A and B are shown apart, each in its own frame.
Chain A
Amino acid sequence: MNRERDTFINNLMGKRGFTFALPDVIVYVFSMVLIVAGIIGVIVYFSSFGSQVSLHELDRKNNQLAENILSDCGLLHAPGVFSSSKLDGIGDPEIEPCFRYCELGSSIEIIDGVNKKTWKLGYAGETGFDVVYSSKVYPVGIYRENRIDDIEAFGFSEVIADDLPDSAEGYACATCSGEYNYECPSGYLRTSCELEHTGSHGCCAGCFVSKVKCEKVDIGPGKMVVTIYDDITSRIACGIEKAYYSGEEIVTLPLGSETFTVKIYKEDKKVCVNLVNVIMGAAPDVVYTEKTCRRLYYNSGASIPEFRFAWGKEGKIKIINGTTIRFEIVE
C-alpha cells in the first residue's frame, strides 16, 4: 500500500521531490497573498481618504439673513419686534423684504403667537426634486398698534368693567373653547374665561354664557420661519439679474436625470420655471410638472421669450439690445 502511494507521489511530483516541505510552501503562499492584499487594501483606503469640512453654508446664510432682518428692516417696530400694521401694509408679498440673496431664494413666514395670524413674504420655492434648502425658526416679537376705545367691539352681552384701551371684562354669549369659543379683538389677549349658567346675563335661553376678560397686548410673542432655497428658479432668476447688470451671465444648472426638461418664461415681473419630470418605464409614462416663480428685482422692459433646455446643461443668459433676454446652451 505504502509503495503504491510513494509511486503515485513520485509520478506526480517527480522522483527527486521538493527541496523543502510542502506545508511550508502553503504557509508562505498564504502569507504572501495576505500581505499583498493588506498592502493593496491600505493603498486603496488611503487613496480615497480625505478630510471633509462641513460648513453648513445654507444654515449660515439663513442665520445671517434672519439676523439682518431682525436688526434693521423697515417692517420692524424695534429690533427683533415686527410691526403688525407694517406687515399688513406690504403691497407685494412676493418681494423678499429688506435683504435678499441673488443666488438663493428666500421666504419669510411671520406668525403672531397670540392670534395665530400669519404673514407670508418672499419666494415660495419648491422642496421636491432634491432641492437644497434650509429652514429655521426664530423667536420674534409682534407689536400691534391697534387700540380699541369702544366697548361694543368686544361684543359683550353685559359689561362688567370698561378700562379701555387697556382692558375690558364682561359676559359673552360664547364658550371658552370649541365651536363657540370667544376670541378677543385683534391686539387683545384673553386673560380669563369662566363658563356661566346658560341663558343668563342677557343671552338667549339655552345659549352658552362665559365671563371673559381681555387685556391689551402691545408686544406679544411670535415666530419667524426663514427658508433659503438653492433651486433652479432662484439660479435662473439670479442669472437674468446678473445678465441685466453685466450683459451676459453663465448659469450652471445642477446635474440630474436626463428625463427632466425646464421651461422658462416671464410672467409679469417674475421669471417662472416649469420643471417637467417624465418618469420612464411606467406604462404609460408619468409626467409630473411643477411651476415656481421668483420676483425679478430690476426695472427692465426686457422680455423673456419662452425657452427650454434639458436638465444638466450649462447655459449662457444674454441681454440682446437691452430688450430681449436670450438663453444659449453651452455644449
Chain B
Amino acid sequence: MRNGLSTFWDGRGFDLLLVGIPLAFLIAISGSALVYNVVMSFQEVGMFTLGSFVRPFAGLKNYAEVLSDPQTWPILGNTAIFVVGSLSGQFIVGFALALFFGLKFPGSTYLRGLFLVSWVMPGLVTGALWSWLLAGDFGVVNFFLRSLGIINENIFWRSDPAFALWSVVIANIWFGTSFNMILLSVGLASIPEDLYEAASLDGANVFQRFFTITLPMMRSTIGALLSLGLIFTLQQFDLFAALTDGGPNNASNVAQYWAWQLSFREYDFARGATVSVMMIIVVIAAALFYVRSTRHEVRG
C-alpha cells in the first residue's frame, strides 16, 4: 500500500475522486433542492421573505390550503386522466408497432429507428406542431376526421374545455409511442424463437402464443416500461406550455404544470413548493417500482 496523494492517481482514491465529485455535485444541487422544497412547503414565503433563509414557520398550513383549494381535486383528476390516457395510448400503439416491426424484413430496423425522432425533438416544437395540427378552423386533424365522417363540426381541441386535456394527451402519445416501441422491441427480441416453434407444434394459434408466451416473457420489460412511462408522463411540461397553458380555466391543467404556475405566475412559492412535494412523493414511488422491476438487470 502506498500512502499519501499518490492514491488519487493510482489507487482507491482515484475511484473515490471519480465518483465522489459528481455525486457531491448532484447532492449539492438536486439533493439540496429537494430538501429546500420540503422546507419551503412548511414556511410562509412572501415577496419580502423570499431573499432570506429564515422565514415564519407555517406548520401544515400550506398543505391544508392546497387540499382545501377547490382547484386541487379537478387538477389531480386531470393528472390521473393525463397519465392513464397517455400511458395506455403510448403503450398500446407502441406494442402494436413493436410486434409489427418484429416481423423481420429488409429495412425494418432502420424504419423502426426513424420513429424515434418524435422522442428527440424539442418538446416545444412538438407542442407547436400539434397546436397547428389540432387547430380548430383550419387544423388538418379536423379535416381528416370530417373526411372520414367521424365528426360533422370542427372540434376546437385546444380551447374547448371538454377536449383541451385530450389535445395534450394526443400530442404526448405521439411523443412517447416511439420510445415504448423501441424498448418493447428489445424485449420481444430477447424471447427465444424455439418457444414459439414448440408452441406452434403443440397447435397454439397466434393469440394463444401471444398470451401464453409473449406477455409472460415480457413481464419485467413491461413493468419497467410502465413505471418509466409514469415517470416521464409526470415530467411532461413543454406540451402544456405550447398547447393549452393549462386552460381554459384549468380544464387541462395537471399538477406538475400547476406547481410551476403557482410559483412563477402567482409568485406563491410556498404553495408551488407544497404541490411539488406532493407530486415528488408520487414520482419517487413510481421510481422505486421501476428500480425493482429492473434490479436484476441493473446489477448486471
B partners with A: no
B residues neighboring A (CB under 8 Å): none
**Chain A: residues with CB nearer than 8 A to chain B?**
none
